[in-house]
Amino acid sequence: MSNLYLSISLEVQAALQENRPVVALESTIIAHGMPFPRNVETALRVEKMVREAGATPATCAIISGKLSAGLSTAEIELLGKEGANIPKASRRDLAYLVSQGKHGATTVASTMILAHLAGIRIFATGGIGGVHRGAATTMDISADLQELAQTPVAVVSAGAKSILDLGLTLEYLETMGVPVIGYRTNAFPAFYSARSGFGVDFCLDSATEIASLLKAHWELNFQGGALIANPVPEAHQLDADLIEKTIAEALAAAERLGIRGKAITPFLLAKIENLTGGRSLETNIELVLNNARLGGAVAVALNAQSLRQV
């Protein structure tokens, strides 16, 4: 799609023009989710995983005021080195950053927007945002959920971040008509662990089945996307009770320091990493790689089905 503010890399552009599968990737995980240089190393490994699955990676960010789908290694390194100096960009921030010619690291919501503008249907990330604990009084609800309800991009994630109120997050998705698909699981994953105590809407056992559901979803002219819940590999998951205790400590620290809004998630993830002695970071990396692998497979399957129809 032609857009004055959109920049698509030559590699991604060629893949789209030749009807080859493409997977969008976010950049908040680079600038705000991990320390340098692990963030850059992980971003490049994630791109490699997508390629090995048979698709083209399109890491998304705002670079000098351009909504960029497909970054160079130098641009990924820029985001990684600058880290928290790069603004975290959700839907509300895009027009400002574009108008000011600034950089921005895309969240789930803004990556979905960039992917849709570029014509990319599949997006792989770590975990989505959702309804925060205590939202009944704070009204802290991630823009990711509304984006899933209105933007036709499927998101592969390890469920929602376990720092959230997962029950209310799923209730919100149900209300907004967003299908939650479990990949080879009936349990909704809780980011660091494979089970949250909540279920998914549908359990599907292959990328082909997921692609068929997505194809039908969009051919029925439903407006929004879908959430594909892919549990963290068992060998890398953390004990659910340990994580819950750690999250409680991190939330208490955030409350004491008065940290709220979009600063809360990176603060909590960093605090959890510190409290777990770095184990949570290793789990985070493994689940992102796992999601990239599935995202690539789903993109390939969806592309094959669409080509057969043509």
Q: What is the mean pLDDT of residues 110-121?
A: 98
Q: In DSSP terms, which residues pair with 56 in a beta bridge?
A: 22
pLDDT at residue 309, as a whole number: 65
Residue that the structure tokens 């789908």 belong to:
69
How much of the chain, in percent, has pLDDT values that exceed 90? Answer: 78
Check residue 139 and report its DSSP letter: -
DSSP H helical segments within the chain, as ranges?
10-17, 28-31, 38-52, 73-82, 94-100, 108-118, 135-138, 143-150, 166-175, 207-219, 240-257, 264-275, 279-309
Look at residue 222 and tell me if it is in a domain.
Answer: yes
What is the average per-residue pLDDT within 27-37?
93
Residue range(s) defining the domain that contains residue 204: 6-243+285-309
Kindly state the greatest CA–CA separation across the chain. 58
CA distance linking residue 102 with residue 84, whole number of Å: 14
> Is residue 258 situated within a structural domain?
no
254 in a domain, yes or no? no
CATH number (domain holding residue 176)? 3.40.1790.10
Q: Mean of the pLDDT values across residues 200-229? A: 97
How many domains would you assign to the chain?
1
- Residue 304: inside a domain, yes or no? yes
In sequence order, what DSSP letters do the residues of 65-111 get, joined into one string? Answer: TEEEES--HHHHHHHHHHGGGSPEE-GGGHHHHHHHT--EEE-HHHH
Which residue, among 65, 64, 102, 104, has the nearest Cα to 88 in the 3D structure?
Answer: 104
In this prediction, residue 169 carries a pLDDT of 97
Round the CA-based radius of gyration of the chain to a whole number and report it. Answer: 18
Confidence class of residue 94 from pLDDT cuts 50, 70 and 90?
very high
pLDDT-based confidence at residue 273 (cuts at 50, 70, 90): confident
pLDDT of residue 19: 96
Give the model confidence (pLDDT) of 275-309 as tens digits: 788 888 999 999 999 999 999 999 999 999 987 76
% of the chain exceeding 70 in pLDDT: 97
The answer to whether residue 161 is catalytic is yes
User: Which one is catalytic: 47, 66, 147, 161?
Assistant: 161
Residue 50 lies in a domain: yes
Q: Known catalytic residue: 88?
A: no
- Between the alpha carbon of residue 83 and those of residues 34, 120, 217, the distances in Å are 9, 26, 37
Instruction: State the pLDDT at residue 310.
Output: 46
Q: Which candidate in 26, 75, 77, 147 is catalytic?
A: 26
Q: Could you tell me if 80 and 39 are in contact, meaning their C-beta atoms sit under 8 angstroms apart?
A: yes
- C-alpha to C-alpha distance for 228 and 131, rounded to whole angstroms: 18
The pTM (predicted TM-score) of the whole model is: 0.93
Structural domain includes residue 98:
yes
Question: Is pLDDT larger for residue 79 or for residue 256?
Answer: 79
Q: Answer yes or no: is 235 within a domain.
A: yes
**Residue 79: per-residue pLDDT:** 98
pLDDT in tens, 165-193: 999 999 999 999 999 999 999 999 999 99
Whether residue 190 is contained in a domain is answered as yes
Average pLDDT over the chain, rounded to an integer = 93
